Structure 1
Amino acid sequence: MITVYIRYILDPTKLPEFEQYGRQWLPLVAKYGGQHHGYFLPGEGANNVALALFTFESLAAYEDYRLRSQQDPACQAAFRYADDTRCILSYERSFFRPVFPAAVPASWGEQ
């Protein structure tokens, strides 16, 4: 399993446009086998940083999604929307593998 982390630097005057961009991608990631965990818009603190997290079963599955999304008209429209609105100034992408808890001993639940 691989989780993709994207950190966006945004034009802070175009947060509504970025939110619309994110809403376009939520179903598109699922269309190609990923699980989107959402976009996270600025709240407190920096007003120009947003995050996205989504998971694929493997790096190979993610790479397949990347190739197929380049040919998908809805994905192309989402890319164009970001370009046209200039809501994204830059972004960086990182890949993580999750660590899940081991089975918790029954005695840990006792108080």
Structure 2
Amino acid sequence: MITVHLRYEIDPAKLAEFTDYGQRWIRLVDKLGGTHHGYFMPSEGDSDEAFALFTFPSFAEYEKYRAAAAVDPECVEAVRFANETQCIRRYERRFLSPVFE
């Protein structure tokens, strides 16, 4: 199992746009074989930082998702929306292996 951790630097004036973007990707990750664990938005503290977590059964399945997302019309539209609204300033992606009891 592989968990993708995304850290976003977002424009705090565009929280509505970033929320829209995140809601799109929750559904799209699930549609393309992953399990999305949600977006975590600023509350207290930093107002320009958000996070997302989603899991795939393996890194190979994640790579299949990436290939499918590159050509899926809804995914392409979600990326276009983020670029057009400039709600995301930058992001970092990390790959983690979860530990359970």
Q: Same fold (TM over 0.5)?
A: yes
Percent identity of paired positions between Structure 1 and Structure 2: 55
How many Å apart are 1:79 and its aligned residue? Answer: 0.2
What SS does the corresponding residue of 1:70 show, helix, strand or coil? helix
Measured in 2, the distance between the counterparts of 1:12 and 1:83 equals 15
Please give the residue correspondences for 1:1-111 in structure 2 after superposition, counting only pairs within 5 Å.
1-101=1-101
How much does 1:32 deviate? 1.1
Which stretches of structure 1, 4 residues or longer, exceed 4 Å deviation after superposition?
none
Query: 5+ unaligned residues in a row in structure 2: which ranges?
Result: none
Amino acid at match of 2:4: V
| Separation in structure 2 between the aligned mates of residue 68 and residue 24 of structure 1, nearest angstrom | 16
Paired residue type of 1:46: D
Larger radius of gyration: 1
* Structure 1: stretches of 5+ with no match in the other structure: 102-111
Deviation at 1:21, TM superposition (A): 0.2
Report how many residues are paired. 101
